Structure formats: C-alpha cells, structure tokens
C-alpha cells in the first residue's frame, strides 16, 4: 500500500516543481491527477511478482550502471565533438540491435540509457519483436555497434534491470 502512495507523492512533486507553485489548488489538482495516473497504471499493468534477482543484488549493480552510462555519455560527446570539428566524417545510419524478450521496464531502461549518449538516438524499442532501432553517427560497422550495445547491456544493465 505504501508503494502507490509514494508514486502519487513523487508524481505530485514533479507536477508542483513544474508549476513552481505550492498554491492549495495546485496541490489538490496534482494529487488528483497523480492518483488517477497511478490507479490507471496499476489497472493497465498489474504489479506482478518481483524479478528472481534479490533487491539487494539489483541495488548493488546501480553504481556500475550509473558509472558505465556516464562513460558512454563521455565517449559519445567526444565522438560528436570530433564530427563537429571535422576531424572525421560522420557516416550516420540506423542499426538494429537484437534484444532478448524481457520485462518492459528493462527494454525501456535500455532505450533511455542508450539515448543519453549524444552519438545515439533511439528510434524504436520493440520488445515484442525483440529489437532496438538506433540512429548512430558512425554506422560503418553495424556489427561493432551491436557488439558494443550487447556488451554494455550484459555488463551494466542486466543485473539491475533483468
């Protein structure tokens, strides 16, 4: 019962921060909209059993996930700077990354994490067909892009979002 209340509180906080207001009407509106969103979310996707990985093990993987994502962002920024300065010609393209069917939150986390790097843009995450479409600045070697993404998922994300 506390999880839905925390979700309502978090959503209301984001709403109030967006408005930059603590007016009672705004607080009531935020609570009402947040409660409706949480209720609708639970109705559309009922909360299922937790993954088989214990929560403590999943949380222990968060530092590696965050650090690895920061490294990916730094590498991507370096590559983009090289392209912008004309040090190497860009060869952009779409690369299909096969993903194993997983829970939707894992696929969404993968898409968000990959999209944070400035040299990649997530075009589509299709968990049902098992693919992630990425627009990358250097698509000359699509197999290398696939290998790097798979390695990143296996080493960093899989432990936290199985």
Highest mean pLDDT among 5-19, 47-61, 68-82: 68-82
Give the strands of the sheet with 120-126, arranged side by side: 93-98, 131-136, 120-126
CA dihedral 52, 53, 59, 60 (to 10 degrees): 180
Q: Global pTM?
A: 0.64
- Read off the pLDDT of residues 70-115 as tens digits, 9 standing for 90 and up: 999 999 999 899 988 988 887 899 999 988 776 777 778 888 888 8
The mean pLDDT value for 113-125 works out to 89
The SS3 assignment for 137 reads coil
Q: Are residues 38 and 62 in the same domain?
A: no
Read off the tokens for 147.
Answer: 């290998």
Residue 123 CA, chain-centre distance (Å), reads: 13
28 vs 31: CA distance, rounded Å: 5
Cα dihedral 131, 107, 111, 128, rounded to 10, equals 30
Most confident residue range from 39-43, 110-114, 130-134, 140-144: 140-144
Tell me, yes or no, whether 70 and 147 share the same domain.
yes
Look at residue 49 and tell me if it is in a domain: no
Is residue 162 in a domain? no
How many domains would you assign to the chain? 2
Sign of the C-alpha dihedral, residues 145, 152, 122, 116?
Answer: negative
Pair (18, 64) in one structural domain = no
For residue 104, the enclosing domain spans 55-157
Q: What is the mean pLDDT of residues 57-65?
A: 86
């Amino acid at each position: 019962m506390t999880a839905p209340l925390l979700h309502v509180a978090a959503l209301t906080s984001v709403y109030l921060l967006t408005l930059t207001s603590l007016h009672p009407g705004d607080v009531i509106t935020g609570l009402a909209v947040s409660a409706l969103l949480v209720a609708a979310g639970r109705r559309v996707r009922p909360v299922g059993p937790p993954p088989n990985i214990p929560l403590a093990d999943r949380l222990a993987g968060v530092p590696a996930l965050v650090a690895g994502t920061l490294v990916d962002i730094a590498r991507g920024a370096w590559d983009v700077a090289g392209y912008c300065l004309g040090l190497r010609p860009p060869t952009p393209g779409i690369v299909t990354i096969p993903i194993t069917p997983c829970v939707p939150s894992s696929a969404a986390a993968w898409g968000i994490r990959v999209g944070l790097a400035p040299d990649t843009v997530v075009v589509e995450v299709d968990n049902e067909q098992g693919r992630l479409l990425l627009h990358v600045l250097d698509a000359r070697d699509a197999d290398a892009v696939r290998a790097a993404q798979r390695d990143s998922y296996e080493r960093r994300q899989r432990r936290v979002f199985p």
